[in-house]
Amino acid sequence: MKTQPRYPIHIHWSEEDGEWIATSPAWPGLSALESAPQKAVLELQKVMRLAAAANAVAARPVPEALSVAALKQAGGVIKIAALAARAGIPAQTLHSKIRRGGVLSPEESAALHGALAAANLTVLGT
């Protein structure tokens, strides 16, 4: 059985709704609204699994968790230094991880997904 990719999840309190909202930059448009942050995360994970299943049935791509390999391939199209700056990661660190095939921390992955989403970009995994 294939393991589900791990996506970064952002949680914030909504004054307007009076509940916690969970979103993932890997899945724009999906969100979960719950009374507790943990419930919002669990609900979003359920929604992402359902969306992935629906995409599979419709033969649409499923977002991959962001990887160094995917960033390496995207390096010919996007400026890695500019992406690092937007994500708040030292460019030297990101370049080094890409060059050496290092692993992104969950925080780095979330920051990079956020920077890509802010620029309306997505990097598909390999």
Distances (CA, A) of 65 to 14, 20, 22, 54, 95: 26, 23, 17, 18, 19
Residue 53 domain-assigned?
yes
Same domain (yes/no): 80, 53: no
In this prediction, residue 69 carries a pLDDT of: 67
Give the end-to-end CA distance of the chain in Å, rounded to a whole number: 19
Q: Do 103 and 74 reside in the same domain of the chain?
A: yes
Q: How far is CA 84 from the centre of its chain?
A: 15
List the chain pLDDT tens, one digit each, 126 residues.
454 556 778 888 999 999 999 988 788 889 999 999 999 999 999 998 899 889 888 888 777 666 666 676 666 657 888 888 888 999 898 888 888 877 787 778 878 878 887 776 666 543
Based on the domain organization, do 53 and 73 belong to the same domain? no
pLDDT at 61: 77
Phi/psi at 119 (nearest 5 deg)?
-100, 10
Judgement on whether residues 15 and 41 belong to the same structural domain of the protein: yes
Same domain for 45 and 80?
A: no
Token pair recorded at residue 84:
């690092």
Give the pLDDT of residue 126: 38
Task: Say whether 38 sits in a helix, a strand or coil.
Answer: helix
pLDDT of residue 124: 53
Q: Are residues 78 and 49 located together in one domain of the fold? A: no
Domain identity same for 75 and 108: yes
pLDDT value of position 1: 41
Q: Tell whether 25 is covered by a domain.
A: yes
Q: What pLDDT, on a 0 to 100 scale, did the predictor assign at position 16?
A: 92
Q: State which residues form the domain around 106.
A: 68-118
Q: What is the pTM of this model?
A: 0.54
* Dihedral in degrees, nearest 10, Cα atoms 118, 120, 123, 124: 130
Q: Which residues pair with 10 in a beta bridge?
A: 23
50 and 72, same structural domain? Answer: no
